């Protein structure tokens, strides 16, 4: 296990153009800090004045993280490594996932034996360390399964059709159990389909990131089914804002949806990308529908807007253009797998 703090300051450590709430002196651990969501969150927390530790299973290049962020490498299943990382922390952000919805159904037993069990060990460690709060990154896209109505409120039935979604639900229930038994405070954020900087587009997770990557490489876009599957997309800066707002929230609602509240089909996203790239048409190849894909998923965000005074601020067109610019600038690094390790398994 290693802990380093050196490295140059990145050009945009905060990530968001919005002023960050002060978190001066708050000690925050980001588990899965080497992934897409984790890297953005670490930089955002550091910009807000928090003392941040990034826990990742792989080494992270120094220029990716704010120089004030401490880096620790280790495995989520390594209880000693986790215990050392959690010690003296105030807030723990749990962003570690098992896999992705499609691949999780190939081996459900492996999926459900990984992150959910390791999370139980984490909760025991957090109980002993007396942390103030645990914030969990759940899946607004996978946990509800096939919805009965759109948009989907937090009270909707949770019937996942992937082992990935079941694993997320198991972790949610474990958090509820440990609050009931031991008083551990927590907040669950059910996040829709985020996109933005550090999403590599090479790990078969993240439609927008994958599509931008393929366009930059001159490859056709892969469309599963007719392209009429509807999803809820939001920029990673808005997700980071929700994470920060969740830290100080002490209201009664332990589960909050985080999304744009607006549904767009895959075909509509392709049309938006054509505009963002300045292309008349992007070539596509169609493939059979996948069993793990629900036909539509759009989250009802009324609760988080009222409880946390949060709302998405980055418009889709603006977000696509900035993401294209970031990925174009880092295309060589992405091809070498250097920009960030394994974002499919680390948030």
Residue ranges covered by each domain of the chain: 3-14+23-335
List pLDDT tens digits, range 205-243: 699 999 999 999 999 999 999 999 999 999 999 999 999
Per-residue pLDDT, 347:
56
From 144, 164, 178, 249, the catalytic residue = 164
Instruction: Determine what percent of the chain falls in helix, strand and coil, rounding each to the nearest 5.
Output: 35, 20, 45
pTM: predicted TM-score of the whole model, two decimal places: 0.90
Q: Write out pLDDT tens, residues 2-46.
A: 444 333 333 344 455 455 567 999 999 999 999 999 999 999 999
Mean pLDDT within 131-135: 98
* Predicted local confidence at residue 18, as pLDDT: 54
Mean pLDDT across the chain? 90
How far is 144 from 12, CA to CA, in rounded Å?
A: 35
Give catalytic status of residue 164 as yes or no. Answer: yes
Whole-number pLDDT of residue 10: 34
> 276-309 in b/e burial notation, b at 16+ Cβ within 10 A?
bbeeeeeebeeeeeeebbbebbbbbbebbeeebe
User: What pLDDT was estimated at residue 332?
Assistant: 80
Confidence (pLDDT) at 156: 98
Which residues touch 218 (CB under 8 Å, ≥6 apart)?
Answer: none
Question: 7 to each of 62, 326, 330, how far by Cα in Å?
Answer: 5, 20, 18
Q: Any idea which of 87-91, 214-218, 327-331 has the lowest mean pLDDT?
A: 327-331
* Higher-scoring residue by pLDDT: 345, 66: 66
As a CATH number, domain 3-14+23-335 is 3.40.50.720
**Beta strands 230-235 and 193-195, pairing class:** parallel
Is the pLDDT assigned to residue 342 strictly greater than 90? no
Please give the pLDDT value at position 20.
Answer: 59
């Amino acid at each position: 296990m290693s802990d380093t703090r050196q490295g140059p300051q990145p050009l945009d450590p905060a990530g968001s153009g919005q002023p960050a709430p002060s978190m001066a002196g708050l000690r925050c651990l980001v588990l899965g800090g080497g992934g897409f969501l984790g890297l953005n969150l670490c930089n955002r927390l550091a910009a807000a004045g928090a003392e941040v530790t990034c826990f990742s299973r792989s080494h992270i290049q120094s220029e990716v993280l704010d120089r004030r962020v401490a880096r620790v490498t280790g495995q989520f299943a390594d209880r000693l490594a986790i215990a050392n990382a959690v010690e003296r922390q105030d807030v723990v952000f749990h962003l570690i996932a098992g896999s992705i919805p499609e691949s999780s159904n190939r081996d459900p037993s492996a999926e459900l034996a990984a992150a959910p069990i390791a999370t139980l060990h984490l909760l025991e460690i957090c109980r002993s360390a007396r942390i103030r709060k645990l914030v969990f990154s759940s899946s607004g896209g996978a946990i509800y399964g096939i919805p009965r109505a759109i948009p989907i409120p937090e009270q909707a039935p949770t019937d996942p059709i992937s082992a990935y979604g079941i694993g997320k639900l198991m972790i949610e229930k474990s958090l509820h159990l440990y609050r009931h038994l031991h008083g551990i405070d927590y907040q669950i954020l059910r996040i829709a389909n985020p996109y933005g900087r550090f999403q590599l587009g090479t790990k078969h997770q993240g439609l927008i990131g994958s599509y931008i990557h393929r366009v930059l490489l001159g490859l056709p876009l892969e469309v599963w089914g007719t392209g009429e599957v509807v999803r809820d997309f939001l920029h990673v800066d808005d997700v980071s804002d929700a994470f920060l707002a969740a830290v100080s929230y002490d209201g009664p609602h332990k589960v909050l949806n985080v999304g744009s509240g607006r549904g767009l089909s895959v075909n509509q996203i392709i049309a938006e990308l054509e505009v963002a790239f300045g292309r008349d048409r992007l070539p596509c190849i169609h493939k059979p529908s996948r069993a793990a894909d629900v036909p539509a998923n759009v989250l009802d965000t009324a609760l988080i807007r009222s409880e946390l005074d949060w709302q998405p601020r980055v418009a889709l067109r603006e977000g696509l253009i900035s993401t294209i610019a970031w990925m174009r600038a880092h295309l060589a690094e992405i091809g070498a797998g250097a920009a960030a390790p394994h974002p499919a398994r680390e948030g």
